[in-house]
């Protein structure tokens, strides 16, 4: 989650900015797998909206890679005979 780490630094510099609040809520939601109101993205300025899309893209890629890593884990492919 490269983008998220960069955004977190930006949020720390200006935590009270409305843009930071929305991006922070998005990141927290993705990390905790809790609901996020998508309509909040509409309140973002275009630049910050693009950042939100990058965050979602990184998160999706990380989830995809994590899921595929389990497919190649030898322990997960063990079949019981019995």
User: CB of 26 within 8 A of CB of 5?
Assistant: no
Q: What local confidence, expressed as pLDDT, does residue 18 receive?
A: 94
Kindly report the number of other CB atoms within 10 A of residue 4's CB atom: 19
Q: Is residue 52 domain-resident?
A: yes
Q: Is residue 26 domain-resident?
A: yes
Q: Domains in the chain: how many in total?
A: 1
d(CA 14, CA 38): 22
Range of the domain at 29: 2-61
Q: pLDDT grade, residue 1 (50/70/90)?
A: low
Mean pLDDT of 4-8: 79
Q: What local confidence, expressed as pLDDT, does residue 73 receive?
A: 57
Q: Is residue 45 domain-resident?
A: yes
Give residue-wise pLDDT tens across range 42-82: 999 999 999 999 999 988 888 767 655 555 555 555 555 44
Cα angle 75, 79, 81 (rounded to 5 degrees) comes to 140
User: CB of 31 within 8 A of CB of 55?
Assistant: no
């Amino acid at each position: 989650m490269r983008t998220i780490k960069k955004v977190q630094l930006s949020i720390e510099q200006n935590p009270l900015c409305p843009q930071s609040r929305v991006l922070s809520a998005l990141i927290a939601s993705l990390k905790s797998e809790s609901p996020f109101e998508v309509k909040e993205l509409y309140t973002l300025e275009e630049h910050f909206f693009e950042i939100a899309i990058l965050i979602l893209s990184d998160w999706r890629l990380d989830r995809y890679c994590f899921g595929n890593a389990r497919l190649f884990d030898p322990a997960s492919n063990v079949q019981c005979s019995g």
